[in-house]
Structure 1
């Protein structure tokens, strides 16, 4: 994932410097390698070549402290522009220049503090550093909150002339993004009232987080018969067990426990839907879907076409379930059988050096410059490789405009870890090229395009590895890995997106979202997506309560599906056309940032997400891959 600096500026808020961590859409199976990665108890034990070099940002804390003071002064001084931005294009440019300088430095300060903590979270001094960065970020947001409403208040005719001036050419799209929300802007007093009510809107998310944390799961017996504690974090690992009894026990124990709190979860969910719909209605949007997509310059038909197209192609998903059932050799396929590998796991250990070499080899098709920069990143302090007890889990790419990209890994040596390297370095390369080409104001590419380069890299790596695979077992393993990416991203995230749309619409129509209603809606959609081959066990009806994204964000997960489809189209274009396609994608996509609306960025790269074609094309790739796997399975 790309842990990113949000660059959304609307009539209600200016938030270039508000940081967020996107929800990880699905769990990557953790498969133990035959040989184990090095184990380090403390960060000091890790050799320097396996740690990212944050000293490339600040040599020491004194240098960081100096910039903190600069940001504080710049934030407090920014008020001098209030009430003066509409006088001329030159006046507006001065304000925006100062705004950019403030946000740019604040990003650097924030990123350094939080990345320092992410690799050493038990360090009290670093906790204090990150807390100081958070407080500074809040100050910056408060001191710049007046800017968007004043931009919106500039008369249309005057703003039109400003946008046509050379002075504001760099800020044209940025200003247009604010102006586009003008029909949904409110008078100052109402804006202030909505702003004051925002803590109430976040209450469902906070309550959900505490409720989910307070749910205690029972013990189950593992493969050896030993009693083990079931938790939220180890649940999926037990669903991956080769022992079906363990999978079933974990599945039933987890969801039946959740069902014991179903009314509380339902009340929190209903409150979140009410809040989303209230704020949409207050701003005169027709729906919460519009309120989510229009500010990001995404037509709502993109959302609708995604769901409709995936629904049309669900027979392919059902066919994949039939193959799963056959390969598992079971009389009935249950929801607790989804995560268990249907092909013997590749338990080979891949060192970080070997993994990086495989990624460089797999991405040679991207050209010499791309591979050269990638290699420089591996050797130049971009990547933090190994785990310690107090290091943040998972993987991400981050950085600021004035730093090179940074990638956090927790490398264990599995093949999935190799694909993670390709994924995160896809983010890193997009950030590298964008920051090199774009000014700060248009450098932070939006969420809609953020997962395209990363998943494109994974696909190119898969294609390279598959072309070299020699045995039937190797081919089956890689094909299944690829098909699982489709299932868990294109299908599963669209399933979530459909559920999210339905429950928002039902609340808007005044229907009750009690626990039984939510369970029925979710179970019906689940049955539709997995088909008759799958037994949609009644326990799965509670899965909605396990997905934090429904509470933490609004209409977000669909972008994982659209990004995945776009990445398949771009990877195919590269594989079919070679260097001309690479040049087009590099120039019009990797270097584009937010210089154009996201739909236009992708269109210039060669994929039109305003139509259903990329989704249809991705389904054709899924079908071809599925057919190839079925053929190999049936070979004698």
Structure 2
């Protein structure tokens, strides 16, 4: 809570690789398949008006410095103005960034985005005194303010959360100094994004028909799903070799990002960068460690799946480039966007009429930008901020995976919708720790819906394999990424250097640990860390793994029947950050301080592997 424009500055969930892609021109797409940013600002002139208003508010807010402890009314007025600043700053940044994501090469959009970034940095600098000054108020006096002023009741939990941070907040002068460096400190991620989106170009490869095909970020996964093994390997090599040519630049960029995290943790007196990151969500470091340990325990299940995959593909030398091709041969299952939308809406009917009504309104009300266009950011995300409806970015190519991406992003959007509808601004920004729960729960509900309606054995096998892959990529692979982040930060904290050789060797060894029982991991696999954008949003990826574990537990509870399970879940969606994430999940029916939800999800993975073997008739 109280991250100015936190949905804008922090909460952009990119589920696939973010990049600029090639495709149709934007004006070739029907408007009903494009999001409507005019719902935020009808014109750039209106954006400019709010930018000017924000400047005035920042000037006014600066005058409050030194007054917060004077009285309960002074504190309340500052809290309310701080919220107003956050609402406007969030809208300004969200609009500018999504406009840029429509076409990352468009100069006017780049300029507006740069202006928005500068405004965010100035906003954070102008408000940087706020929390440190609150912390100067004696706890007893602060409590008396809340007790005597009814208007402060709403802020009780937020003020308690600030008090929890006392040991890690610097003086107002130091906080302001750090805030002025915000744009510089965020540079590694910004530079990687521009390098990856605008400058990275992959070679053309030969497809299964001997025809040239351009490898792009947007087409990469589709190429890895081709039946022709040569195409898969050529696509894999094209991407990894292209990144490898920039290994020293990317190593320096990532090392700078890690050093920033380590220095920040030391300045703020955290025991480690990882502890600093988890502290924001009040999540014990043991949750992170339990996750890695549970996945290590379950690697035999992954090995069993890899052997099944090699058996089905009839190869003796399973490769990393073979991990994404569906195991059901010759299955031409195309699902146009409108059909995918109907499946998703049927799947979520179990969540009740209010949920379905708003989902229908959103999917029919231009919340979604559906198709790949030239220069558009690839992948998928749900975004928005307080005062706007949620938005969804897709690059839909009529695949089953794309249908599940729609379900996933709709889960994010409905979580955002209910939180913003129910909570005041200060509690409307749910934490990233719980962000992946609603999205992955929707995927589980879609899988259940399709499992009940699809009777064709080939399609059933495809769906089981898809669910296995969801758990592998979201729980197991993301845990491997999380382990990589843990190792890189510990290296720097212990005085080591993140050279390209060290990074490649570390990432290679992790691939061997996870996949090496079946796959002869190639040297190029060590370059895989270079293409993961989430590594610049440090200690994010473990939340995918904990999120899917919680989501599987909650979906099982919902599907088991009983209105109480649905009611608990909807309360969770509506709670925002009005309590700690661990407590919100516990109220919904899952305890993430225990390793059991992770183990249960991995047990389901093992069961699905056996089920797939049965459907395919393989002993």
Question: Is TM more than 0.5 here?
Answer: yes
Q: Distance in 2 between matches of 1:127 and 1:254?
A: 26
Per the normalisation by structure 2, the TM-score is 0.90
What is the CA-CA distance between 1:258 and the residue it aligns to? Answer: 4.3
Residues 127-176 of structure 1: per-residue CA shift (max 9 Å, x gap):
55545444443433232222122112222332233355543221122223
Alignment partner of 2:280: what SS?
helix
Q: Distance in 1 between matches of 2:332 and 2:366?
A: 29
Q: Higher mean Cα deviation, 110-119 or 177-186?
A: 110-119
1:559 partnered with 2:543: yes
Q: Distance in 1 between matches of 2:455 and 2:247?
A: 50
1:323 partnered with 2:308: yes
Q: Distance in 2 between matches of 1:503 and 1:341?
A: 33
1:176 partnered with 2:150: no
Of 9, 15, 22, which aligns to 1:19?
9
Q: Higher mean Cα deviation, 323-332 or 176-185?
A: 176-185
Of 373, 378, 382, which aligns to 1:393?
378
CA 148–406 in structure 1, closer or farther in 2 if over 3 Å, else same: same
CA 111–569 in structure 1, closer or farther in 2 if over 3 Å, else same: same
What is the CA-CA distance between 1:189 and the residue it aligns to? Answer: 4.9
Q: Distance in 1 between matches of 2:526 and 2:259?
A: 22
Check conservation: 1:346, 1:415, Cα contact below 8 A. no
1:451-490 map, 5 Å: 451-490=436-475
CA 167–257 in structure 1, closer or farther in 2 if over 3 Å, else same: closer
1:278 corresponding residue in structure 2: 263
Q: Distance in 2 between matches of 1:621 and 1:167?
A: 48
CA 164–318 in structure 1, closer or farther in 2 if over 3 Å, else same: farther
2:522 corresponding residue in structure 1: 537
CA 207–362 in structure 1, closer or farther in 2 if over 3 Å, else same: closer
What is the CA-CA distance between 1:619 and the residue it aligns to? Answer: 1.4
1:625 corresponding residue in structure 2: 608
Check conservation: 1:366, 1:579, Cα contact below 8 A. no
Check conservation: 1:75, 1:102, Cα contact below 8 A. yes
1:87 corresponding residue in structure 2: 70
Q: Distance in 1 between matches of 2:104 and 2:258?
A: 34
1:295-444 map, 5 Å: 295-344=280-329, 346-444=331-429
Of 569, 577, 580, which aligns to 1:597?
580
What is the CA-CA distance between 1:40 and the residue it aligns to? Answer: 6.0
Alignment partner of 1:397: what SS?
strand
What is the CA-CA distance between 1:307 and the residue it aligns to? Answer: 0.7
1:34 corresponding residue in structure 2: none
1:503 corresponding residue in structure 2: 488
Q: Distance in 1 between matches of 2:212 and 2:318?
A: 26
What is the CA-CA distance between 1:207 and the residue it aligns to? Answer: 6.2
1:36 corresponding residue in structure 2: none
Q: Distance in 1 between matches of 2:365 and 2:237?
A: 48
Check conservation: 1:347, 1:414, Cα contact below 8 A. no
Q: Distance in 2 between matches of 1:116 and 1:231?
A: 21
Residues 246-277 of structure 1: per-residue CA shift (max 9 Å, x gap):
33344345445544554554444444333322
1:97 partnered with 2:80: yes
1:186 partnered with 2:166: no
Q: Distance in 2 between matches of 1:199 and 1:447?
A: 22
Q: Distance in 2 between matches of 1:72 and 1:197?
A: 19
What is the CA-CA distance between 1:607 and the residue it aligns to? Answer: 0.8
Q: Distance in 2 between matches of 1:204 and 1:130?
A: 17
**How many aligned residue pairs are there?**
613
1:547 corresponding residue in structure 2: 532
Check conservation: 2:16, 2:380, Cα contact below 8 A. no
1:141 partnered with 2:124: yes
1:609 corresponding residue in structure 2: 592
Q: Distance in 2 between matches of 1:516 and 1:120?
A: 35
What is the CA-CA distance between 1:585 and the residue it aligns to? Answer: 0.8
Provide structure 1 residue ranges, at least 5 long, that are not aligned to the other structure: 1-6, 29-38
Provide structure 2 residue ranges, at least 5 long, that are not aligned to the other structure: none
What is the CA-CA distance between 1:376 and the residue it aligns to? Answer: 2.1
Residues 543-580 of structure 1: per-residue CA shift (max 9 Å, x gap):
22232332x12211101111111111110000113322
1:12-161 map, 5 Å: 16=6, 19-20=9-10, 22=12, 24-26=14-16, 41-43=25-27, 45-61=28-44, 63-119=46-102, 129-161=112-144
Residues 475-496 of structure 1: per-residue CA shift (max 9 Å, x gap):
1010011110011110000001
Q: CA RMSD in A?
A: 3.0
Alignment partner of 1:407: what SS?
strand
CA 427–281 in structure 1, closer or farther in 2 if over 3 Å, else same: same
What is the CA-CA distance between 1:21 and the residue it aligns to? Answer: 6.0
Check conservation: 1:25, 1:493, Cα contact below 8 A. no
Per the normalisation by structure 1, the TM-score is 0.88
